[in-house]
Amino acid sequence: MPVGEGHRTGVGAHRTVAPPRISPHVLLFALLFVGGTTFGVWTSQIRPSTRLAALLATAAHLTGLLAGLGMLAMLLLMTRVPAVEHGIGADTLARWHARGGRTVILLTLAHAGLAWWAHSAYNHMGPVDGLLDVLGYPALAAATFGCALLVAVAVFSARAVRTRVSHETWLRVHLLTYVGTAIAFFHQPAGPDLAGAPVLAWLWTFLHVQVAVLLLWYRVVVPLCALRRHDIRVVRVYDETPDVVSVLMTGRGLASLDAASGQFFRWRFLTRRLWWTSLPFSVSAPVRDDTLRITVKVVGAHTRRVKRLRPGTRVLATGPFGAMTARRRTRRKVLLIAGGIGITPMRALFETLPGEPGDITLLYRASDSAQLALREELEEIAWRRSCRVHYLLGSSRGPDNPFTSAGLRRLVPDIGEHDVYLCGSPDMARATLRILRRAGVPRGQVHAEVFDA
């Protein structure tokens, strides 16, 4: 039986109970509520004054509270709590984390600068003497060092720098976020906004402890328990195209992972060069008979090492993650659009989405036929399920671009009646969203997960 082959699923097929999910609106409301409470704490302690030092100190207190709260929120977004990942989507969380991180760094720098200025003005010191005096306090010296670590992470995360360093270097530097946050935290309960309010200081500490527990639980304990329970190991690595490989894995009780088509895991292959790196790859076929499969494009050092994996290599899989599943569906007809290696989650959805003949259509975008991975499987699924698959080959630049709104309407005349699932590179996804909008597809019918580099 071909990899991924299974029983045909009808529209009325039984659906499993959806896992708990936290919607974006609920999470944003919770963050705004805590932020509003923090602002209220700040306003309740304001004492009217026209002195420069007092005004600077008041501004320093506000930016410090918001920076501390913002850093806590950024860590919460990356805890990998399943209810949050399933309800919001890992790509959205990553974008919130990136954008919020820049704001937090600016708030942290503003807090440090204002506090330094306020201290110098209050004690009638010059900038250098004021800085040296601040560094004489152990808690403030530690906070300054923590701030410096966070700034270093921000510099390495800037696109202009990140594209020039290896992923391994970026990852190692990014781990300093935890160190910087922990060091900077210790001066917060002793700060003027919390030191005089024991209940608030306790609540502030409790929030930080809760996030730390979630981080340890979902990023360390849960993966290690899964490693022991499922004992996933590599069975075979084989080529799909010259630069795409599939990794077939087997384990125990993999059905209990509840991995839906369209989702991905974060994989740690326990070899000397890969064990410390978590790699996000979608499953490219439904989980069946305790077998998992991912399909990977070889584009860098990590993926080259994946291509060289040997049978028997142990695998730590965390997940599943991702919200681009059949539960997003709102229409009977579905159009799947894949660009390049984005075919991996689309291939699994193409096989498993319920539908009658003609309800499911797949568009596969690639530069040429040599880049079409999993083509034989896609055509076998299309034949077996009476679905349609179209290959759109060629450059996206110039008059011969095969992917336009007019061309899309010719291939799928009733496209406005379809749900659209989209997976591809950021540039391809942005272009496709514009094409879909011109073709008359409402934004609410488009389901996509796009990860910016």
Q: Is 81 within a domain?
A: yes
Range 106-126 average pLDDT? 85
Q: In this predicted structure, what is the pLDDT of residue 16?
A: 43
Q: Is 9 within a domain?
A: no
Domain that holds residue 267: 231-321
Q: Is 301 within a domain?
A: yes
Q: Is 101 within a domain?
A: yes
Assign residue 331 the CATH number of its domain: 3.40.50.80
pLDDT at 292 over 70: yes
Q: In this predicted structure, what is the pLDDT of residue 10?
A: 36
Task: Please state, in angstroms and rounded to a whole number, the distance separating the CA atoms of residues 223 and 134.
Answer: 42
Cβ-based neighbours of 271, under 8 Å, separated by 6 or more: 305, 309, 313
Q: Is 293 within a domain?
A: yes
Residues 333 and 435 placed together within one structural domain of the fold: yes
Assign residue 195 the CATH number of its domain: 1.20.120
Confidence of residue 71 (pLDDT cuts 50, 70, 90): confident
Please give the tally of structural domains in the chain: 3
Q: In this predicted structure, what is the pLDDT of residue 1?
A: 32
The region of weakest confidence among 10-24, 41-55, 301-315 is: 10-24
Confidence of residue 48 (pLDDT cuts 50, 70, 90): low
Q: Is 204 within a domain?
A: yes
Confidence of residue 108 (pLDDT cuts 50, 70, 90): confident
Task: Please state, in angstroms and rounded to a whole number, the distance separating the CA atoms of residues 318 and 259.
Answer: 11
Last residue of a domain, one of 321, 349, 371: 321
Parallel, antiparallel, or unpaired for β 360-366 and 333-339?
parallel
Using CA atoms, how far residue 23 sits from 20, 37, 72, 79, 116, in Å, is: 10, 21, 19, 16, 40
Token pair 């510099």 in the structure block, residue: 155
User: What digits encode the pLDDT tens for the residues 371-387?
Assistant: 888 999 999 999 999 99
Paired tokens of 46:
């304001």
Q: In this predicted structure, what is the pLDDT of residue 18?
A: 53
pLDDT at 369 over 90: no
Residues 247 and 176 placed together within one structural domain of the fold: no
Residues 173 and 301 placed together within one structural domain of the fold: no
Residues 202 and 180 placed together within one structural domain of the fold: yes
Q: Which of 36-40, 82-86, 244-248 has the highest mean pLDDT?
A: 244-248
Residues 42 and 119 placed together within one structural domain of the fold: yes
Whether the Cβ atoms of residue 274 and residue 220 lie closer than 8 Å to each other? no
Residues 300 and 426 placed together within one structural domain of the fold: no
Dihedral over Cα of 34, 35, 38, 43: its sign: negative
Residues 244 and 196 placed together within one structural domain of the fold: no
Residues 204 and 94 placed together within one structural domain of the fold: yes
Using CA atoms, how far residue 6 sits from 271, 335, 382, in Å, is: 33, 21, 13
Residues 297 and 203 placed together within one structural domain of the fold: no
pLDDT at 316 over 70: yes
Q: Is 281 within a domain?
A: yes
Paired tokens of 195:
């030191």
Cα atoms in the 13 Å half-sphere on the side-chain side of 51: 14
Cβ-based neighbours of 272, under 8 Å, separated by 6 or more: none
Task: Please state, in angstroms and rounded to a whole number, the distance separating the CA atoms of residues 47 and 297.
Answer: 60
pLDDT at 51 over 60: yes
Q: Is 176 within a domain?
A: yes
Paired tokens of 352:
């498993």
Q: In this predicted structure, what is the pLDDT of residue 315?
A: 93
| Buried b / exposed e along 223-243 (16+ C-beta atoms within 10 A) | beebbeebebebbebeebbeb
**pLDDT cut 70: percent of the chain above it:** 89
User: What digits encode the pLDDT tens for the residues 419-450?
Assistant: 999 988 888 888 888 888 888 888 888 888 76
Confidence of residue 14 (pLDDT cuts 50, 70, 90): very low
Q: In this predicted model, which residue has the larger pLDDT, 46 or 334? A: 334
Main-chain phi, psi angles of 264, to 5 degrees = -135, 165
Residues 74 and 167 placed together within one structural domain of the fold: yes
Confidence of residue 347 (pLDDT cuts 50, 70, 90): very high
Last residue of a domain, one of 191, 221, 251: 221
Parallel, antiparallel, or unpaired for β 446-448 and 418-423?
parallel
- DSSP-derived secondary structure letter, 396: S
Range 127-134 average pLDDT? 80
Residues 306 and 339 placed together within one structural domain of the fold: no
Assign residue 290 the CATH number of its domain: 2.40.30.10
Torsion of CA 416, 422, 425, 431, to 10 degrees: 10
Dihedral over Cα of 19, 25, 29, 31: its sign: positive
Q: What is the pTM of this model?
A: 0.73
Q: In this predicted model, which residue has the larger pLDDT, 24 or 246? A: 246
Confidence of residue 189 (pLDDT cuts 50, 70, 90): low
Residues 337 and 427 placed together within one structural domain of the fold: yes
Q: Residue 306's closest CA among 337, 341, 339?
A: 341
